[in-house]
Amino acid sequence: MIEIYTDGSSRGNPGPGGWGAVIFENGNVREIGGRDEQTTNNKMELKAAIKALESIKGSDVTVYTDSEYVMKGMTLWVNNWIKKGWRTANKKPVMNQELWQELLEATAGLDVSWKYVAGHTGHDYNERADVIATEFADGNTPKLYDGPEKSYK
């Protein structure tokens, strides 16, 4: 069982942004993150999930996100968007379609459970993903952990 905690951040919406993820896999913890110069918060939330899922080796995954956009998109909306040719219920094009398609590709062959965790409520791993995303959004490069789970915070 793999657990992933994701978050995205942008300074301005749009503006510089960052994404971060904390990945628990096979007794190890790996933190990853990145930056885009001009982006939105929703794009960074999606990018965090995409990059984390692309980096894992196993197939039984729980993704924890504080983004209702990502959570509802993957559990409620995406199948209808596909049926409607990537159109919303209002017949408008789905925003960030290319990232939603990347996220679907990243989940192919995986058994993914999506869980919502409220942001900024003291959940350690969600808070850490937020710190990583925010640091990258601010143009900094945070020190990222990659090692045994028993030595992680």
The answer to whether residue 7 is catalytic is yes
Residue whose C-alpha is closest to residue 43's, from 79, 72, 67, 77: 67
The answer to whether residue 130 is catalytic is: yes
Catalytic residue among 8, 17, 18, 73: 8
Q: Is residue 146 flagged as an active site residue?
A: no
Catalytic residue among 17, 18, 33, 45: 45
Extract long-range pairs of 94-101: CB within 8 Å, 24+ residues apart. 95/42, 96/42, 96/43, 96/46, 99/43, 99/46, 99/47, 99/50, 100/46, 100/73
Indicate if 109 belongs to the active site: no
7, 31, 102, 135: the active-site residue: 7
Q: Is 31 a catalytic residue?
A: no
Say whether 123 is catalytic: no
Active-site residue numbers? 7-8, 45, 66, 120, 130
